[in-house]
Amino acid sequence: MEIARLKEKFGAAYEKILTAENILLVTHERPDGDGLATLCALSVFLDSLEKNQTIFCADAPPDFFSYLPNINKLISGNLPMAEPKTRPVPPGAIHPSQEGNNFSAFDLIIVLDCGSLSRTKLAEEIIGRNKNQFVIEFDHHPKTEDYSDLEIRAPLSSAAEVLYYFFHFNRLPFSKDIADCLLTGIMTDTGNLLFGAVTPQTIEITSIMIINGATLPKITRRTSQNKSLAAMKAWGKILDNLKLNKKYNIAYSVLTFAEIANLKKEFGGENLFDAATDILNNIEGVKAVIFLREEEPGKIRGSLRTKDSAVNVARLATYLGGGGHPKAAAFRFPGSIIKTETGWKIV
C-alpha cells in the first residue's frame, strides 16, 4: 500500500487534535511495547500542544516499560469516576457521575494498535458515544470492524510505523522522547527487526529515530535483554517438551497447568512466556510453530508463529476464535491439557 494515499487522513487527524479540548488515548488490554509506545508518543505530543489528556489501558503496563516518557500518567483498570460538578445540574440532565466514568467528557478519542475494539475495554462507551465525540483509529492490524470516524490503517510493521507518518506528513519534529517511543514500538513489534513485516522503510524510519536521539541500546536492553531467571527456566521446559508434527511439518510445545505451577513455585516471577514462541520460531525448516499452555486452570492459550512466506497463521488463529498477524497470532479456548504417554490431549 502506498502510504502517501493516507496523507490527507494524517492531516485530518492533526486538525482534529488541534481543535479538541479533552482527549482520551487508549491502547489494547495486556499492552505490549507497540501499544504503549504509540500511546506515550502521542501523549508527549499532546503535552507540547498543552492539551488536556487522559491515557488509558485496561491492564497496567509491564514494569520494564517504565523508561517510556509519560507512562506514569497512564490510568489502568477503569476510567476514573467523573468529578462531581460544582455548578448546578439542570433539571432532567444526566449528572456526569451517574454515567460511571468520565467518558462523555472526551471530545476526541484516539485508539492505538487495537486490532479489535473490544481490546480497548471501552467498546460500549465508544459505540454509544455522543455525536460530539470523535474517534480516530491508528492501527496496523487487518481491519475487523468499522467503528471510528477517521480510520488510519496500514499493514506496516507496527502501529509505531503508522504513527511515524502522522508526524512525517504533518511536518512535525521528532523530539528525543517521541523518537524513543516510536523506535520502541518498531523494535518490540518486529522482534528487533527480524519479522517479515519489516521493509526498507521500516529500517529507514529506525535510522531516522536514532538520528533524532532515540537510544537503541537502552531500548533493546529494557525490552528484550530483560528476561528473568524464571523466564529462562520456562524456556528450558518449553524446549524440553518440544515436538515435531511430521504430517503438517509443524513444531509444537505444550505446558500443562501443573508444569507452569511448578515453574512459578520454584522460580517465581511473572511474564514467564514473553518471547517464548519467538524462540521456537528459530527452528529451521518447519511451516509454523505452536506453543500451547494452561496458565489458569481450564483456560488454554495458544501462540502461533511462522517465517514461511506462504503460511498465514492468523487464519488458523481466527478459526480458533483468536486473531493477529499473518506471521504471529494467538488464540484462547476453554479446556485442560493432560499429558499422555505419547504427547498431550485436551479435555
Query: Which residues sit at the interface with Mn ion, rule CB under 5 A?
Result: 34, 113, 158-159, 189
By beta-carbon proximity to Mn ion, the closer residue of 180 and 189 is 189
**Number of alpha carbons in the 13 Å side-chain half-sphere of residue 242:** 19
**H or E element in which residue 125 lies:** helix 123-127
Count Cβ neighbours within 10 Å for each residue of 152-183 and write b for 16 or more, e otherwise.
bbbebbbbbbbbbbbbebeeeebbebbbbbbb
Q: Compute the least distance from the CB of residue 34 to Mn ion, in Å.
A: 3
Per-residue cell: 173: 519534529
Q: Compute the least distance from the CB of residue 112 to Mn ion, in Å.
A: 9
| Helix, strand or coil, per DSSP, at residue 190 | coil
Q: Compute the least distance from the CB of residue 42 to Mn ion, in Å.
A: 14
By beta-carbon proximity to Mn ion, the closer residue of 34 and 278 is 34
Q: Compute the least distance from the CB of residue 141 to Mn ion, in Å.
A: 7
Whole-Å CA distances, 185 to 8, 255, 336: 24, 29, 34
Amino acid at 296: E
Q: Categorise residue 269: left if φ over 0, alpha if ψ from -120 to 50, beta otherwise.
A: left
Q: Compute the least distance from the CB of residue 222 to Mn ion, in Å.
A: 18
Q: Which residue is nearest to Mn ion (CB)?
A: 34
By beta-carbon proximity to Mn ion, the closer residue of 163 and 234 is 163
By beta-carbon proximity to Mn ion, the closer residue of 20 and 179 is 179
By beta-carbon proximity to Mn ion, the closer residue of 20 and 57 is 57
The partner residues of 108 in beta bridges, in order of sequence, read 23, 134
By beta-carbon proximity to Mn ion, the closer residue of 251 and 317 is 317
Q: Compute the least distance from the CB of residue 268 to Mn ion, in Å.
A: 29
The partner residues of 293 in beta bridges, in order of sequence, read 255, 301
